[in-house]
Amino acid sequence: MIISLLQDLEQQSLTRGIPIIGREKGAWLYDKVKEVQPERILELGTANGYSGSILGSDGAELLTIEIDPGIAREAQDHFDTLSINARIIIGDGVSEVQKLVKEKQNHGSFDIIFIDFAKNKYMDVLKDCLTLVRKGGFIIADNITMAGCQDFKQAVLKHSQLKTEIVKIKDGLSCSERIK
Ligand SMILES: C[S@@+](CC[C@H](N)C(=O)[O-])C[C@H]1O[C@@H](n2cnc3c(N)ncnc32)[C@H](O)[C@@H]1O
């Protein structure tokens, strides 16, 4: 399974202080991918490609956004090694997602959107992510109990278009299905 293949990358990330989701959340995410059988996934916050490798492990097309070109190069190497069908956009998650909304007619919608970038910017992308995710698809956000994410957490819990559960692994994930 992909989590075992990523063991070395997980260890290296811990040693270098790269904040990846790690194996417990990774195993949950892998199960979600198996359940949803996504064709297209959007990720905000690529880092070295740990979570992206899990998201893309079942053959989905992964579009992932990262602001740091150096770490994105590492991610590309890992995606190549693991034959993950990924394209990395180098840029700011908020403005790149806005561009995707404008181009939506050219590329269609996503089955899963995974948000794991600047914690104080989650709210800035919520509306656009709702536009980009298909009905029945999922918006999943990492570190949901962190201080910077509380406005986002309350917004997804209350949102009339979303059915949200909080997954209690480490500092938590929110998992919101777009129901309308
Ligand atoms: C928590 S790490 C992502 C970890 C990755 N999802 C994983 O689990 O393997 C957050 C990443 O978001 C990137 N980032 C921070 N601010 C960003 C922004 N405004 N736009 C895009 N990426 C950003 C950071 O450079 C960092 O690599």
SS3 112: strand
Q: What is the dihedral of CA 152, 118, 29, 130, to 10 degrees?
A: 50
Atom of ligand 1 nearest to the CA of 21: 8
- pLDDT of 107 reads 76
Q: What is the pTM of this model?
A: 0.98
Strand locations in 33-172 (E): 40-44, 61-66, 86-90, 110-115, 133-142, 162-167
Query: Which tens digits make up the pLDDT trace of 154-166?
Result: 999 999 999 999 9
Q: What is the pLDDT of residue 28?
A: 98
Q: What is the pLDDT of residues 113-155, one digit of tens each?
A: 999 999 999 999 999 999 999 999 999 999 999 999 999 999 9
| Chain segment 48-60, per-residue pLDDT in tens | 999 999 999 999 9
Q: Return the structure tokens found at 140.
A: 């999943």
What are the distances in angstroms from CA 61 to CA 10, 12, 64, 168?
Answer: 23, 26, 10, 28
Question: Is residue 10 within 6 Å of ligand 1 at its C-beta?
Answer: no
* Paired tokens of 93: 């998650």
CB distance 20 to ligand 1 below 6 Å: yes
Taking the centre of ligand 1 as the mean of its atom positions, its distance from the CA of residue 75, in whole angstroms, is 11
The Cα 123–Cα 127 span in angstroms is: 8
- pLDDT computed for residue 108 by the predictor: 80
Which ligand 1 atom is at minimum distance from the Cα of 18? 2
Which residue, 82, 86, 85, 43, is CA-closest to 66? 43
Phi, psi angle pair for 96, to nearest 5°: -70, -35
The b-or-e profile of 18-50 (16+ CB within 10 A means b, else e) is eebbbbebbbbbbebbeebebebbbbbbbbbbb
For residue 31, how far is its CA from the centre of ligand 1 (angstroms)? 22
Residue 106 has pLDDT above 90, yes or no: no
Q: Give 8-59 pLDDT, tens digit per residue.
A: 999 999 999 999 999 999 999 999 999 999 999 999 999 999 999 999 999 9
